[in-house]
Amino acid sequence: MNFDTDIFTLYDKKWALLTAGNENDFNTMTISWGGLGTIWNKPVATVYVRTSRLTHDYMDKNEYFTVSFYPEKYRSILGVLGKKSGREMNKMKDSGLTPKKAGESMTFEEAEVTFLCRKLFVQELKTENMPENIAKTMYAGQAAHDMFIGEVVEIIS
Ligand SMILES: Cc1cc2nc3c(=O)[nH]c(=O)nc-3n(C[C@H](O)[C@H](O)[C@H](O)COP(=O)(O)O)c2cc1C
């Protein structure tokens, strides 16, 4: 992975897993929206999670989360984890990946790289603050996204 040149397509094309919780109780889901950058002089990862996702509950409850990226051969697993909720399947046991501790959070052995993040900021993306066409196409009858910004405290590869 080339972080110098691929930064804008990293989430969008490669996808990632967003994971929160501990080894006894965690959840994970596929994400393709997000960013890596800087705020308040800290390196940060930003993710956008609809309030309807089970992972959102885990993001609320936990101080840490991870964003992890995978080799192409795991694409179909990421597809399943992005389609099925942890309410319908046991994502701790049946994800097809091998859970692994990452500091105070969780990731998977198969990850090429994991960003361990400490939650810094959460805010709802209010439809009145976005272009009308986006509000209509993305949010009509659908749950809002919350933006979570996490300080990247460790990069595990
Ligand atoms: C490629 C892909 C990208 C996705 N990106 C996001 C995202 O950035 N934010 C989000 O809230 N949901 C996203 N989703 C949807 C969630 O991954 C999906 O609803 C998942 O089943 C939620 O699981 P959970 O209920 O166990 O948290 C994406 C799904 C796919 C397949």
Q: Is the pLDDT of residue 34 over 70?
A: yes
Nearest CA to ligand 1 atom 11: 49
Q: Measure the CA angle with vertex 59, ends 8 and 103; round to 5°.
A: 85
How confident is the model over 83-138, as pLDDT tens digits?
A: 999 999 999 999 999 999 999 999 999 999 999 999 999 999 999 999 999 999 99
Query: Which residues lie below 8 Å from residue 25, measured CB to CB, with a gap of 6+?
Result: 92
Chain length of the chain: 157
Q: Is the pLDDT of residue 39 over 90?
A: yes
How many A from CA of 42 to the centre of ligand 1? 26
Contact present, 129 and 147 (Cβ < 8 Å): no
3-state DSSP: the chain helix, strand, coil percent, rounded to 5?
20, 45, 35
Average pLDDT, the chain: 94
Q: Is the pLDDT of residue 2 over 60?
A: no
User: Among residues 3, 16, 39, which one has the least CA distance to residue 110?
Assistant: 16
Global confidence as pTM: 0.95
How many A from CA of 5 to the centre of ligand 1? 25
